[in-house]
Amino acid sequence: MRYVRPTPIQAQVIRPILEGRDVVANAQTGSGKTAAFLLPLMDHAVKNFTDTTQILILAPTRELACQIDEHALGFGYHTSVKSIAVYGGVRMENQEQALRENTSIVVATPGRLLDHQRYGSWRFDNLKAVVFDEADRMLDMGFWPDVKSIMDKLPQGKKRQMLLFSATMPGPIEQLAKQWMHDPARIKIGLQRPPTAITQMLYPVAPNRKEELLIRLLKEKGVSSTLVFVGTKTGADRLKKRLDRAGFHAGVIHGDREQKERDRVMNEFRSGSLELLVATDVASRGIDVSGISHVINFDVPHDTDTYIHRIGRTARAEAVGEAYTLYTREDEYKIKAIERVLGRELPRETGPESTPSPHASGSSQRHGSGSSHGRRPHSGPRRSSSGHHSDRKRRFNPGRRPAQGQ
């Protein structure tokens, strides 16, 4: 697996897990936390193998569930410990069979796992460990009642090791830790800060020139493995088509894409045959691709946590990477909020395309007295490239998250 030395989270988490302790760990994305909990749990499962499900891992999205399952497959390839990913968007039959056969490790999204429970597909009588991965995201996406329901349906009165990984620790998650954990080891790694190996740059731009600037950046910086974040599903589809017309081979993932299509695109991106991927925030959860060179925020996220998660897709496992954010004058308040949390002003780069229009609408400055040579007549309110009326300002909400279907 090419591990040379443990990352900080691995160095601090593996020992207490091997000792059987409950763990609450705060770690930023890309820190190596998946291996941090899988390796010691699977070591115990191999040494104490039984023909029952021993480990349950709950994750907020199917992409993250698949990523964890792929890691488990790699770690346990030469062992008897097998895993299954259980998530929505696909037929239940194969998942149901694996659950009834008591696969050693079950990695599941909460909603689909409850669906199987209603059909009596699982009991988990001999469960040894439960892992909550990206617990704050499960809370944000409205899965917390499902998580509590799953815990209530597990056989009561049995001791299980509980591991909770979360970038932040809001009240409901703290309450879970107090209710279901016993004297947990508490570990904090690099909270609320992107990895220092990421070079960040801001590009001010008029709304009607965002696509033009993005294409110029992609050509100038070189496309090796680039992830572009867009705020909406329709915006992602539109940008993908624009990039295709510009000569790039781009893929897109979001909540409206079929699971088979999302899997195909992700496999192409991981293999390097697809060098440019356009994604929404929720669909991107679980993207764990080594060697992503650039992350580009085509649309500015609505909160700092999302910004940190996005740019954390590059510079993973102590590598280096670059993150660019395209922003309009309407986005200034969001940029300032991000800079306040980061504790510093981010560098700006200006150029022919990366200069905001003097008007909020992004319209071109008129030359002379009303001349309109080379322009189409303006017949209504202009729209920005993200599809919103450019004269409509949106309030920044530090706690706002993308909708579940993105």
List phi, psi (to 5°) of 25. Answer: -125, 130
Dihedral sign (CA 312, 320, 254, 35): negative
Single-letter amino acid, residue 158:
K
Torsion of CA 96, 101, 102, 106, to 10 degrees: -40
HSE (CB half, 13 Å, CA atoms) of 276? 22
Class for domain 198-342, per CATH?
alpha beta
pLDDT (tens place) for every residue of the chain, 406 residues total: 567 788 888 999 999 999 999 999 987 666 788 999 999 999 999 999 988 999 999 999 888 899 899 999 999 989 999 999 999 988 899 899 889 888 999 999 999 999 999 988 888 999 999 999 988 888 878 898 999 999 999 988 888 999 999 877 788 888 888 888 999 999 987 655 677 788 999 999 999 999 999 999 999 887 788 999 998 889 999 999 999 999 999 999 987 888 788 889 988 998 888 989 999 876 566 577 778 889 999 999 877 778 888 888 887 666 688 999 999 999 998 898 888 878 889 999 875 555 544 333 333 333 333 333 333 334 343 434 344 433 333 334 444 434 444 4
Return the residue matching tokens 């090796």.
224
- pTM, rounded to two decimals: 0.60
Which tokens is 144 given? 């917390």
CATH architecture of 8-189: 3-Layer(aba) Sandwich (3.40)
Report the pLDDT value the prediction gives residue 338, as an integer from 0 to 100. 87
* Total residue count of the chain as it appears in this document: 406
Are residues 25 and 15 in contact, defined by beta-carbon separation less than 8 angstroms?
Answer: no
The DSSP annotation for 264-283 comes to HHHHHHHHTS--EEEE-HHH
Q: Helix crossing, 210-221 with 233-245: angle to 10°?
A: 60
Supply φ then ψ for residue 191, to 5 degrees: -75, 140
pLDDT at 404: 40
Whether residue 23 contacts residue 184, with contact meaning beta carbons closer than 8 Å, is answered with: yes
Question: Could you say which DSSP state residue 92 is in?
Answer: S
Q: What is the dihedral of CA 194, 238, 348, 196, to 10 degrees?
A: 20
Grouping H, G, I as helix, E, B as strand and the rest as coil, residue 13 is helix
Q: What is the pLDDT at residue 352? A: 56
Q: Which of 348, 340, 343, 323 is nearest to 398 (CA)?
A: 340
Nearest 5 degrees, angle CA 178-CA 181-CA 186? 85
The sheet with strand 276-279 has its strands ordered as 198-204, 321-327, 294-297, 226-229, 276-279, 250-253
Helix (H) or strand (E) holding 142: none
273-331 tens-digit pLDDT: 898 999 987 656 657 777 888 999 999 987 777 888 888 888 766 668 899 999 999 99
Q: Tell me the CB-side half-sphere exposure of residue 19, using CA atoms within 13 A.
A: 11
List every span in the chain annotated with CATH 3.40.50.300: 8-189, 198-342
Other CB atoms within 10 Å distance of the CB of residue 120:
10
Q: Locate tokens 């440019």: which residue?
A: 276
